[in-house]
Structure 1
Amino acid sequence: MSGISLFPVFLVGLAGSVHCAGMCGGIVGALSLPRRPAPLLRAPAFPVPVRSETAAGGAALAYVGAYNAGRIASYVMAGALAGGLAGGAASLASLPALQAGFYWAANLMLVVLGLFLMDAWRGLASVERAGQALWRQVSPLLRRVNGAPAGGARMFALGALWGWLPCGMVYSVLVTAMLSGSALDGAGVMLAFGLGTLPMLAALGLAGARLRALAARRAVRLACGLAILAFGILGLARAAGGLPPGWMHELCLSVGRSI
C-alpha cells in the first residue's frame, strides 16, 4: 500500500457493522435455499423486494458466503473507482497540501460516522439519501436477479448489487479509498473494510433475529460508535501534530511518511 494503514479500516468495518445489522441484516438472514414462497422483505428506507427463503446447514453457509463475496466485490470495485479517480490527478494528489486535505477529510468522516452510530448526530442520513439516485438505477437489476433460479451465482449477484445500497458508512470509508491515490490501493482499502463487516453479516445470515436484536441495542451501538469516533479523533490529533508517529500509525488512517 502507499502508506494507508489497513488495520484501522478493518476495525472500522468491524465496529460499524452494527449499522449493517439494521440496514440489511434481515435480508442476509433470509438468504438460503427456497422451500416455499414467503412474504417479501424490505430494507429500511430503500424498499427493494427480496424473497424470504429458509435452508439448513451447509446450504445456508454456502449461500451466505456467496452473498457476502458479492457484496465485498462491489465494495472493492467502488474502492478501485474512488482511488483511480483521485490517482488520475496524480500531479495534484502529490501536492502535500491536497494530500493533507484528503487526510483531514477521511478522519472527519470517521468522527461523523461515530456520531451517527451513537445516534448523536444523523448527518450521514442526508448522504445516504443523496445516494438514492444511483440506487434507483441498480434496484431494477436486483429485482430481476431475485427472480432467477436459486444457486450460488444468484446469491453472489444479489450481494454484488446490494453492495451499492446507499450507505453513509460505506461512503465515509470511500473517502479513505480516495486518499490512497490509486485504483489498486483504493480496492485494498475497501477490501479491508469489507472483511471487517464480514463476521457480523455472516453471523447474521446464520443466527438471524437474535443477533440483530443484540446489534440494535443502544449500548452496543454506543460502544461501536465511540470506537470509531476515537479513531477519527486520534487521526485528527495526529494531523494537527498533537500525537507522535510510531505505533500510533497502526491506529490512525494515514498516507505517506509525512503525516
Structure 2
Amino acid sequence: MVTGALMGAALAGLSGAPHCLGMCGGFAVSASGRPAEAAAWHLGKLTTYAALGAAAGAVGQGMPGPAWTGQALALGMLIWFSGRLAGIFPELSLPHGPLSRVGGALLRRGGVLARFGFGLVNGLLPCGLVYAALAMPVATQSAAWGALTMVVFGLGTMPGLFAASFGLRRITQGSIVGVAPWR
C-alpha cells in the first residue's frame, strides 16, 4: 500500500505540472532571485507538505474500524474533490487573506530565510491538487509515511516549477536565448 501511495504521489506531482505552472508559476518566478532562494522556497513548500501529510496520515491511522477505513476515507475525499470540480458539491471557503499578507511581506524582504518562510506559507494556500494529493497520506494510515508521501508529491512538482522559474525569469529579463533546449 505504501509503495503504491509513493508512486501515486510522484506521478500526481509530475502530471500536475501544468496545474502547478498555472497556479504557482508566478510564485516560483518571484521566489527565484538566486538558485539558493528558489531551493529555499521549494524546501519551505516541502516542509509544509510534509506536515500536512503527517497530519493526514495520523487521521488515517486513528480511524477506528478495519484497516481499510483510512482507504475508504481517502476515496471519499477523492469523490468529494471530483464532485467539487464538476460543480456538484459546494466549495470550501478557507481563509487565505492573512496567509497572503504574510507571504507578501516575506517576498518583499528577500533572502534565503524569507524565501523559505514564503514557501511555508505558499504550501498552505488553497490548492485543489494538494487537497486531492492529501488523500494518499490518509490511506497510508501512518504519520511518517504520510509525511513522506507528500514530500514525494512535492518533489514531483519541482522540475516544472524550477524550469518555469528560471525560464520565465530569462524571458522577463528580455533574453530568451538559451531558454529553448535545442539552443
- Name stretches of at least 5 consecutive residues in structure 2 with no aligned partner: 172-183
Name the counterpart of 2:44.
Answer: 70
Q: Highest Rg: 1 or 2?
A: 1
Q: Residues 209 and 109 from structure 1, CA distance in 2 versus in 1: closer, same or farther, beyond 3 angstroms?
A: farther
Aligned partner letter, 1:130: L
Within the candidate set 144, 156, 174, 2:105 is matched to 144
Aligned partner letter, 1:145: L
In the alignment, structure 1 residue 123 sits paired with structure 2 residue 86 = yes
Q: 1:152-171 alignment to 2 at 5 Å?
A: 152-171=112-131
Identity %: 29
Aligned residues: 171
The CA deviation at 1:97 is 5.2
TM-score by length of 2: 0.78
Q: Secondary structure at the match of 1:189?
A: helix
In the alignment, is the contact (CA less than 8 A) between 1:106 and 1:173 conserved in 2?
Answer: no
Cα distance in 2 for residues equivalent to 1:208 and 1:169: 23
Q: Which has the higher contact order (CA 8 A, sep 6+)?
A: 2
In the alignment, is the contact (CA less than 8 A) between 1:26 and 1:209 conserved in 2?
Answer: no
Q: Secondary structure at the match of 1:165?
A: coil
Segments of 4+ in structure 1 off by > 4 A? 1-4, 106-110
The CA deviation at 1:137 is 3.8
The CA deviation at 1:189 is 1.0
Cα distance in 2 for residues equivalent to 1:109 and 1:185: 23
Q: Secondary structure at the match of 1:166?
A: coil
Q: Residues 136 and 70 from structure 1, CA distance in 2 versus in 1: closer, same or farther, beyond 3 angstroms?
A: same
Cα distance in 2 for residues equivalent to 1:7 and 1:154: 32
The CA deviation at 1:156 is 0.8
In the alignment, structure 1 residue 175 sits paired with structure 2 residue 135 = yes
Q: How well do the aligned residues superpose, as a CA RMSD in angstroms? A: 3.0
Name the counterpart of 2:174.
Answer: none
In the alignment, is the contact (CA less than 8 A) between 2:70 and 2:140 conserved in 1?
Answer: no
The CA deviation at 1:122 is 3.5
Q: Residues 25 and 97 from structure 1, CA distance in 2 versus in 1: closer, same or farther, beyond 3 angstroms?
A: closer
Aligned partner letter, 2:102: L
Cα distance in 2 for residues equivalent to 1:29 and 1:96: 43
In the alignment, is the contact (CA less than 8 A) between 2:45 and 2:120 conserved in 1?
Answer: yes
Aligned partner letter, 2:133: V
The CA deviation at 1:27 is 2.1
The CA deviation at 1:107 is 5.9
